[in-house]
A and B are shown apart, each in its own frame.
Chain A
Amino acid sequence: MKEKKTGLLQGTLDLLVLKALALGPLHGLGVSRRIEQITDGTFKVKPGSLFPALHRMEQSGWLTSVWGESENNRRAKYYRLTKAGQRQLEAATEDWQRIALAIGSALQTT
C-alpha cells in the first residue's frame, strides 16, 4: 500500500523539487537523492509521492521532460525547470520565507 510522507505538504514537496532542479536537469531518482542531500537527510521522498509530483508539475508547465541516458547507460526521463518553473520557484521561496518568519516570531513570543 502507498504511504504518504507525513508532515510534508504538497506545496512544500513542490518547492523542494523545484529547488532540486534549479541547478540542472535530473531524473526521478536523482531528484529524490538531491532532496535528501539538500535537506541534510531530513526528507526522503518516496516514489509514491515523488512521481505524482513530477508529473503534476510537468502538466502545469513548470517542468519539461526529455528522455536521455543515465550514468549507467540506462534510458531515463530527465526533468528540467522551465521559465515558468523558475518564476514559480522564486515566488514559492518568497512565500515560504515570509511564513517561516511569521511562525518563528509567533513561537518566540510568550
Chain B
Amino acid sequence: MPLLSRLSSLLRNLVQKAKREQELAEEIDAYLEMLIDLKIEEGLNPAEARRLALIELGGREQVKESVRDVRIGHHIETLLQDLRYGLRMLRRNPGFTAISMLTLGLGIGANAAIFSVVYGVLLQPLPYPEDDRLVILMQAYPQKGLNRWGISQANLALYRDHNQVFEKIAAYNSPGFNLTGGHNPERLQGSAVTADFFDVLGVQPRLGRAFRPEEDAPGKNRVCILSYGLWQRRFGGDPQILGQSLVLDNVPCEVVGVMPPGFAYPNRNVELWLPLGLNPQRTFGYTHTGIARLKPGVAVSEAEADTTNIFWNAAQENPVIAGATVPPPMGADMKTIVRPLRDVVIGDTKTPLLVLLGAVGLVLLIACANVANMLVARAAYRTREMALRFALGATPGRVVRQLLTESLLLAVIGGGTGVVLAWFAVRLLPRLPALERVPRIGEVSINPTVLAFIAGLVVLTGVLFGLAPALRSYRLGLETGMREGVRGSASLASSRLNRSLIAAQFALCMVLLVGAGLLLKSFQRLLSTNPGFKSENVLSMRLALPNTKYTNADQSVQFFDSLLERVRGLPGVQSAAVTSLLPFTDGRESDGFVVEGHEPTSGGLAPNAQRRVVSLGYFQTLGVPLLRGRDFLPRDRGYSTRVAIVDETLAHRYWTDGDAIGKRIRYAWSEEWMTIVGVSAGVKNSNLRETIDPHLYYPYTQTQPRQMNLTVRTLGEYTALIASIRSEVLALDGDLPVWGVQPLSDAVDRTLNHQRVTNTLLTAFALLAVLLAAVGIYGVMSLYVSNRANEFGIRLALGARPTVLMRSVLKQGLTLTLAGILAGTAIAAALTQTLAALLFEVSATDPTTFFSVPLLLVLVASLACYIPARRATRVDPLVALRYE
C-alpha cells in the first residue's frame, strides 16, 4: 500500500541522496540524448536537433528541481539545507547577528517576563480544585455608607441553612494572636474559620486533620492548625508537633494539623488557623467574610440574588440580624455581594499588568522593525545570489521559504536569548521588596504555558520581520537577473519600505513615551498630595491586650496609661500616643453615627464615619492640626462626661462654619451622647488618592482599648528607641509581644510601590524603544546617504554647499520622524484612555505631555541623523565621479 511504499522511499531518499541525484541526472541526460536521436531520425542536422531538443526539454536543472520537489523527505532536506545556509550567513555577518540577537533578545525576553507575570497573577487558576466555583460573600448597604460590610455569625448560619446555590459555605475572619511560652512572645496572624472551611477550598492538611464540626462551637475550639512556614520556622519541622499545645492569647490550643507548603489563605501572612467557634445566635460582629463553593452550573449573579433575598426576608422578620431596630424600608439598597474568589485575589493589578503587556508588545514591534530594516538593506546585496537560485531552477515559493527559514532561525536565536533573560528576571521578582504585595507573585514562573507563548512569539516575530525582506529579495531577483550595478534600482525600491518602518517606529515610540510621561506626571502629583498628617519622624508599632487577661476596661486603660507615661519619658521622644487604627496601615473601620438634632426618622439610615479610639496627644504626634476646640485631656476619664472630636469633613456637613464645639453626637449602636470638644483637620486613610471620609474620634479612657497602635514622634534617630519601648512594654506585661514596628513614612511609601514599579518599567520600555528607533533611523539614513553617494559627490563637485546637503539629509530624516509623530499622536490619544484608571489629577490627553514628547523625539532623531548627514558632506567628489 502507498503508505509503506512511501515510507521506504523516504528512507531511501534520505540515506542514498547522492546516488539518487546521480541516477536522476543520468535519466534526464538519457532522455535528452534519445530525443536528439529521434530528431536526427526525423531529418534534422545534429546541431539543430540538439538545440530543438534542449528547448523541448525546458531546462535540465528545472526538470531536476521539479522531480526533487515531489521527492518524499524533500521538505525535511531543504529545511536542513536552509538552516545550514542560514547559520553560515549569520556567522559571516557577526555584527548584524550580534545586534539582532541583542535586539530580539531584549524584546522577546521582556515580553516573556511580563507575560509570565500576567499569566501567573491574572490567568492561571488558583491552586484550589475547580477554583472558578469559589466565591466570596459579603454584604453591602451603600445608602448607609457601607460599601463592603462583613457578615456576622448569625448571618452565616442564615445563609448556610437557607441557600439554594452553594454546595458548601464557610466563613472566616483574621484575628491576630499573641503566642507566648517558650522564648519571646510573638505576634501571629491567624484566621478563625468555620469547620467547612478547608472543604470549601478543597485542600487538606499535610499532617494531621482538619477541624471537626464539634470543634466549631463556642468554648470547644481550643485546637489549631499551623502553616507549613510556621511549623518549619518556629518548631523546626518537628515531626511530633501534633498534640503539642500552643498558648495563644493565654489560652492553650492543641495542634491538630499542619497545612501543605504554599497554602496561604486568606493571605501570605496567615500562619495559623483556628475554629471560629460558630454561635448562630451571635448577631453582632460583622467582621467575617463568607467563602463558598457554588453548585455546578450556578452563576454568580444567581447566588447574589438568592442570598440577597434570604437577607432581606430575614431582616423583615428580625431586623436585629441586619444590625437595625426596624426592617429596612422599601427601596433600600441593602444586599449581599458575591464575587468570584479569583477576582478578589487579583484585585486591581489587572490594569497595570495589561498596560505593561501592551507596552512591551510595542517594544517588540519596534525591535522587529529594526531587524526588518537591516534585512531589507542586506537584501540589496543578495540580488545576484537570488538570480542564481532562479537560474538553477528554484521556484518563487522555494526562495521565499528559504529566506523565511533564515529569518526564523534568527528569531529562534533571539528567542533563546530572551528566554534566558526572562528566566533570570522571573527568579528575581519575588525578592524585590517593591513587589511583595503583588498578589500571587510567588506563583509566577516560566512554565509550559509561558514557553508556548514564547514559541508562538518567536514564530510570529520571525514571520513579521522576515516576510517583507523575503518578498523584496524575491522580486529583486526576478527583475534584475545577473546585471551589475543593480544597487541603484534596488535601493530605491527598498527605501520606501525602510522609510515606512522608521515612521512606524517613531509612531510607536510616541505612544510609549506619552504613556510613560502621563504616568510619571500623575505620580508626581500623587507624591505632592497632602495626606493630612506629617509622616516624617513618626515611629509606630502594634500591641494587643488579650481579653483573657485584661478582662475589664479599667485594666486595659491602666495599661495604656502607664505605657504612655513611660514612653513619653524616654529620651528622644517628642510625643507619643495610641490609636486603634493607623492611617495607611490598618485599613478602615466605620460605624453609623447620630448627631443630636439630626436624628434619622424611624427606619431611616444613619450616616457612617470612620471610628477611631485615640489617646490625647494623637493629633500632635501625627501632625494633624486641631482647627477648633481642644485635644482630649487627662480629666476625660470613664466617669466624666463622654467626649469626642470630629474632623472638619463631618463638622462642615452638619454645622455652618464647621463649628461643632459643644454639640452632641453618638454612635448609632450606643445610647450615650458624646460632647464634641474639638475639630481636627481631615486625614486620608489608606492611600493618597482617596477622598477624605468623616472621622469620629473618642478617647480610650472612655472605652476598653484592646489592639492599639503606639505612635511616637521622635527627635531624630530611633533605632535605639525601639528596644527601649519593647522593654517598657515587657516590664508592664512580660507576655505581650510588640510587632509591626515601622516608620509611618514607610507605610505611606508602600502604598506607592505598585505605581512606582509600573512607572519604572513603562519608562524603561519607552526609553528602550527610543533607543531602538534612534538606532533604526541612524541605520536607514546611513544607507540612504551611501546609496546616494554618487549624487552627493556630483553636487559637491558642482559647487553645492555642504550645509545645504546636510540640511537635505536632515530634512529627509525629520520628515519621517514627523510623519511618525503625527500618526503616533492620533494612536496615543485613543489609547491613553485605557490609562485613565491609573492617572491621578492628570487628563489622558494632557497637553504638556503631548507637546513635550514630540520635541524629545525630534531632538533624538536629529542627533541620530547628524552623523549620516555629515557623512554626506564628506563624499569625495572624485571618487563619486569615477564610479559613474
Q: Which A residues lie at the B interface, using CB under 8 A?
A: 1-3, 27-29, 46-49, 51-52, 55-56, 58-61, 70, 72, 74-77, 84
Contacts and interface: CB of A to CB of B under 8 A. Distances in A.
B63 to A, nearest CB: 5
B28 A29 contact: no
Contacts of B31: 27-29, 47, 51, 76
A59 B69 CA distance: 13
Interface in B37-96: 37-38, 56-59, 62-63, 66-67, 69-72
Contacts of A75: 26, 30
Given A48-B62, A51-B63, 8 more contacts: A29-B31, A29-B35, A51-B66, A52-B67, A56-B70, A59-B6, A59-B72, A72-B37
Contacts of B38: 29
Contacts of A76: 27, 30-31, 34
B1 interface: yes
B70 A55 contact: yes
B70 to A, nearest CB: 4
21 contacts: A2-B66, A29-B31, A29-B34, A29-B38, A47-B31, A47-B56, A47-B58, A47-B63, A48-B58, A48-B63, A51-B28, A52-B70, A59-B5, A70-B30, A70-B34, A72-B34, A75-B26, A76-B27, A76-B30, A77-B27, A84-B1
B607 to A, nearest CB: 84
A80 to B, nearest CB: 15
A2 B6 contact: no
Contact of A46 (B1, B26, B58, B69): B58
B534 to A, nearest CB: 84
Shortest Cβ-Cβ A-B pairs, 8 listed: A61-B5, A59-B9, A52-B70, A56-B70, A60-B2, A76-B30, A77-B27, A29-B34
Contacts of A29: 31, 34-35, 38
Contacts of A27: 30-31, 34
B4 interface: yes
Contacts of B56: 46-47
B33 interface: yes
B302 interface: no
B547 to A, nearest CB: 88
A77 to B, nearest CB: 5
B586 interface: no
B23 interface: yes
Given A74-B30, A77-B27, A52 B5 contact: no
Nearest to A49: B66
A94 B6 CA distance: 25
Contacts of B1: 61, 84
A30 to B, nearest CB: 8
A61 B4 CA distance: 9
Contact of B67 (A3, A51, A84): A51
A71 to B, nearest CB: 8
A60 B70 contact: no
A56 B66 CA distance: 11
Contacts of A70: 30, 34
Contacts of A46: 56, 58
B769 to A, nearest CB: 45
Contacts of B35: 29
A74 B29 CA distance: 10
Interface residues of B, number: 29
B80 to A, nearest CB: 20
Contacts of A28: 27, 30-31
Interface string B11-30: 00000000000010011101
Contact of A2 (B5, B30, B62): B62
Nearest to A75: B30
A70 B244 CA distance: 99
B66 A52 contact: yes
B723 to A, nearest CB: 87
Contacts of B63: 2, 47-48, 51
Contact of A47 (B23, B57, B69, B72): B57
A46 B59 CA distance: 11
Contacts of A77: 23, 26-27, 30
Contact of B66 (A48, A59, A60, A74): A48
A65 B558 CA distance: 109
Nearest to B5: A61
Nearest to A70: B34
Among A48, A74, A75, chain B packs the most CB atoms within 10 A around the CB of: A48
B716 to A, nearest CB: 89
Contacts of B26: 75, 77
B60 to A, nearest CB: 9
A45 B59 CA distance: 15
A42 B498 CA distance: 51
Nearest to A64: B5
Contacts of B67: 51-52, 55
A29 B31 CA distance: 6
B146 to A, nearest CB: 76
B33 A74 contact: yes
A49 B69 CA distance: 11
B276 to A, nearest CB: 75
Given A55-B67, A59-B6, A74-B33, A1 B27 contact: no
Given A52-B67, A55-B67, A60-B5, A74 B27 contact: no
B783 to A, nearest CB: 33
Contacts of A52: 66-67, 69-70
B86 to A, nearest CB: 26
Residue of B2, B33, B62, B66 with most partner-chain A CB within 10 A: B66
Contacts of B2: 60-61, 84
A60 B35 CA distance: 28
A3 B70 contact: no
Contacts of B30: 27-28, 70, 74-77
Contacts of A58: 9
B71 A59 contact: yes
Most chain A CB atoms below 10 A, which of B33, B34, B35: B34
B700 to A, nearest CB: 93
Nearest to B69: A52
Contacts of B70: 52, 55-56, 59
Interface string B640-652: 0000000000000
Given A47-B31, A70-B34, A55 B4 contact: no
Nearest to B73: A59
A76 to B, nearest CB: 5
Contacts of A47: 28, 31, 56-58, 63
B265 to A, nearest CB: 62
A12 to B, nearest CB: 17
B64 to A, nearest CB: 8
Contacts of A3: 58
Contact of A60 (B6, B59, B62): B6
Contacts of B62: 1-2, 48
A87 B9 CA distance: 20
Nearest to B26: A75
Contacts of A72: 34, 37
Max count, chain B CB within 10 A of own CB: residue among A46, A52, A70:
A52
Contact of A55 (B33, B34, B59, B71): B71
A56 B33 CA distance: 23
Nearest to A54: B67
A95 to B, nearest CB: 16
A56 B57 CA distance: 19
Contacts of A49: 66
Nearest to A61: B5
B542 to A, nearest CB: 81
Among A29, A47, A51, A52, the most chain B Cβ lie within 10 Å of the Cβ of A47
B136 to A, nearest CB: 64
